[in-house]
Amino acid sequence: MKWRVLLARAKSWQTHLKWLMPGIGVKRWLLLLALGVGLLSLGGAYALRAAYPLPRYFYYLTLQFLPRSVRAVFFLVAAVGVIGYAIWGLSRAMLVPFMAGGQSSISEVLYDYHSRGRGPRIVVIGGGHGQSAALRGLKAYTSNLAAIVTVADDGGSSGRLRRDVGILPPGDFRNCIAALADDEALVTRLFQYRFANGKDLSGHSFGNLFITAMAGITGSFESALRESSQVLAVQGQVLPSTLEAVALCADISTDAGSVAQVCGESAIPKSHGRILRVTLHPERPSAYPGAIQAILAADLVVIGPGSLYTSILPNLLVPQILEALKATRATRVFVCNVATQPGETDGYTAQAHIQALERHIGSGVVDRILVNAHLPKGAPIVDDTACEWVRPEGIVSDDPRVVAADLTDDECDGYHNSNRLAETLIGLLRT
């Protein structure tokens, strides 16, 4: 029992000492406050000196019956204690109402905020749940995040809003905003809520409607994303790869040996053929300037995880995005999916993913390739669907760019674990 008490005390002291950690932005103001108190004390001493002789009780109030060195130490310690306690009480009174549930100490909140603000500049390119998983893990290391999201989605609620309202598809943006929100659990539940009743509302998610409404209020889609991020205290930026209404088309090899073109992001996985190549229409849309700036300023650019043909490549097929990716000095990492996707990458190994990527964007663009090395025994099929584990055989030993690690989510087969993925990516940046 005694060691637990000592451990709790040590943890408490560790928490308090975070006030003195470099970069927290507090010590400079404490020193300035101390200087002000010192000047005030000096002025008060001169005033008392001018009022000499002083009443007899000042002899005892100022402890003049003690040696001068003892008095100096006593008053200095007392002053530091009183000022420190006053600052602590004032900060709690002013800042606790703004802390999430009051679960962390103020020093920990400030330390975490400033340390993430000094974190690396990371860009995640993709769409869908894979991109959200990466962002969810990376936000623990840095708030300098930018998610570049595809605008080719035309299915479900996003597709309906795209056709009915003329807005860019908000679905993948909704997922990224929820993943980067300060109170992620609540925002995710709210944004992912789907209306089950109502002729016009049925099937729509609240997040899609929220972004659509914000676009109507602010006058543009990019303003809607920016304002939504501010309202929800998003840690980073969510950016479209382009503001043009693009359509995704694919050349499909059929069982009869012919090649057919299928247009529409939602229609491609249902085409029942092997995807040879995907293209955008129009073929050369203009990139969103903010996305280009984010890539060029980044320390790390993460491509994926996500649907290879319908989430990742639509971003890279925007010519200026690809040019920025080639020009950036950042470390460029491709994250291979943990599992194959029916209708897109059936039977693909990690090697096949890389070949498909480089067939579209060329070789030499990616510096590192991150693949999952953990394949649960006795579970070749994920969640009893047509998905299979993406196998790393061959590529790990053949390609020096490859890094293999355990990236699977133990609670959700076929998906990346956010924390493991983020830890591995940060490790690549530090090597």
Q: How far apart, in Å, are the Cα atoms of 270 and each of 43, 264, 316, 343?
A: 82, 10, 23, 6
Residue 316: both structure tokens together: 């890279």
- What is the DSSP-derived secondary structure letter of residue 378? T
Mean pLDDT value of segment 290-304: 96
What is the percentage of the chain residues whose pLDDT exceeds 90? Answer: 43
209 within domain boundaries: no
For residues 70 and 145, membership in a common domain is answered with: no
43 or 141, which is more confident? 141
DSSP bridge pairs for 369: 334, 402
Domain boundary among 44, 71, 88: 88
350 within domain boundaries: yes
Mean pLDDT value of segment 269-274: 88
pLDDT at 87 (0 to 100): 74
Question: Sorting pLDDT into bands at 50, 70 and 90, what band is 195?
Answer: confident
> Is 90 exceeded by the pLDDT of residue 422?
yes
Amino acid (one-letter) located at 9? R
43 or 8, which is more confident? 43
Question: Sorting pLDDT into bands at 50, 70 and 90, what band is 11?
Answer: low
Domain boundary among 88, 113, 133: 88
pTM for the predicted model, two decimal places: 0.77
pLDDT, tens only, 357-404: 999 999 999 999 999 988 776 555 555 566 888 988 777 667 889 999
Specify whether the CB–CB gap between 239 and 129 falls below 8 A. no
> Is 90 exceeded by the pLDDT of residue 321?
yes
Domain boundary among 45, 70, 88: 88
Q: What is the domain-level CATH number for residue 403?
A: 3.40.50.10680
Q: Look up the domain containing 59 and give its range.
A: 26-88
For residues 39 and 129, membership in a common domain is answered with: no
For residues 81 and 137, membership in a common domain is answered with: no
408 within domain boundaries: yes
For residues 306 and 412, membership in a common domain is answered with: yes
> Is 90 exceeded by the pLDDT of residue 37?
no
Residue of 67, 70, 69, 45 lying closest to 58 (CA atoms):
45
47 within domain boundaries: yes
pLDDT at 251 (0 to 100): 94
Residue of 26, 10, 7, 5 lying closest to 107 (CA atoms):
26
> What's the order of all strands across the beta sheet hosting 368-372?
237-240, 145-149, 122-126, 300-303, 331-335, 368-372, 402-405
Mean pLDDT of the chain: 84
d(CA 330, CA 309): 24
pLDDT at 212 (0 to 100): 92
Nearby residues of 339 by Cβ (< 8 Å), 6 or more positions away: 382, 387, 388, 389, 390, 413, 414, 415
371 within domain boundaries: yes
Amino acid (one-letter) located at 84? G
> Is 90 exceeded by the pLDDT of residue 249?
yes
Question: Sorting pLDDT into bands at 50, 70 and 90, what band is 42?
Answer: confident
> Is 90 exceeded by the pLDDT of residue 413?
no
> Is 80 exceeded by the pLDDT of residue 8?
no
Mean pLDDT value of segment 202-230: 90
For strand 259-263 and strand 122-126, is the pairing parallel, antiparallel, or unpaired? Answer: unpaired
Domains held by the chain: number:
2
CB atoms within 10 A of CB 212: 22
User: Which span out of 118-122, 167-171, 316-320, 341-345 was modeled with the highest average pLDDT?
Assistant: 316-320
